[in-house]
Structure 1
Amino acid sequence: MINYTLKCANDHRFDSWFQSADAFDKLKAAGMVSCAVCGDTHVEKAMMAPRVRPARSAATQPQDTTPAPAPKTPSAPGPLSAPASPAEQALKELRTHVEANSDYVGKDFASEARAMHDGEAPERPIYGEAKVEEAKALIDDGVPVAPLPFNIGRKTN
């Protein structure tokens, strides 16, 4: 897995994980990488500092064990469960709205969406999971679908 800092044409910056550099390139070419804030698909890699481990010799040197005083500035990060930015808050609200107003159909998403489009099932808001090939086939057939900007995270047991 690789973590990239990305930015859109509107200069919104956000982080995203990808399986590999090639996976990022393929998803970007397919138009499946979009801004977490505004949804713009003109996304590029932004400048970022690499995470570098210290040398082994530096890791074995004794370190000062005196605890550092806790920062008392208002810019100190809050709890990990709270949104860190307005964009994260918007994503949280979107997820809550989708889960409250849609039916989760799991891995049957592609077949359910196609059945509704063809008039074989009643129309209703749904969300679920689909393979990239299934999603592309739905789009090619004119079925209105869109990727969600968050992981579903449903438990299966």
Structure 2
Amino acid sequence: MKVLDLQCPDGHRFEGWFASVDDYESQLSRKLVECPMCGATHVSRLPSAPRLNLSGASETPRASPRDPAEHWQAHAMRVIREVLDKTENVGDRFAEEARRIHYKEAPSRNIRGVASAEDAQALVEEGIDVMPLPVPAALKGPLQ
């Protein structure tokens, strides 16, 4: 496997794993490579030292120093993925379902969904804890 350093037009840096450079170029031309933060499909390859992912390799490759923003982005993506994995998506019924749970009209569980700013404010005023969570475009579809 070839591990390539990639970047989208918004400056989000990330790694892509491909069978070969030709495989990367083929996927890129078909718009299959996208930024995990914003979903942009216009991605460019950054200069990097060659690195291969070989199973059974005897030495662990040294981690290269990274930009602190990359660490923050990676951590944010892990947190968002965990939230998405551990919550039920109730979609645009979020405010209604949050109220039902709060007033014990529905089973207690962790939910996520979509609410207007006005609905979110009304929930807070009712004493219902809510928190906005910006979800990157790449995570809005099914999790793989």
Query: What TM-score does the superposition give when structure 1 sets the normalisation length?
Result: 0.44
Query: What TM-score does the superposition give when structure 2 sets the normalisation length?
Result: 0.48
- Structure of higher RCO (CA pairs closer than 8 Å, 6+ residues apart): 2
Looking at secondary structure, tell me which structure has more helix per residue: 2
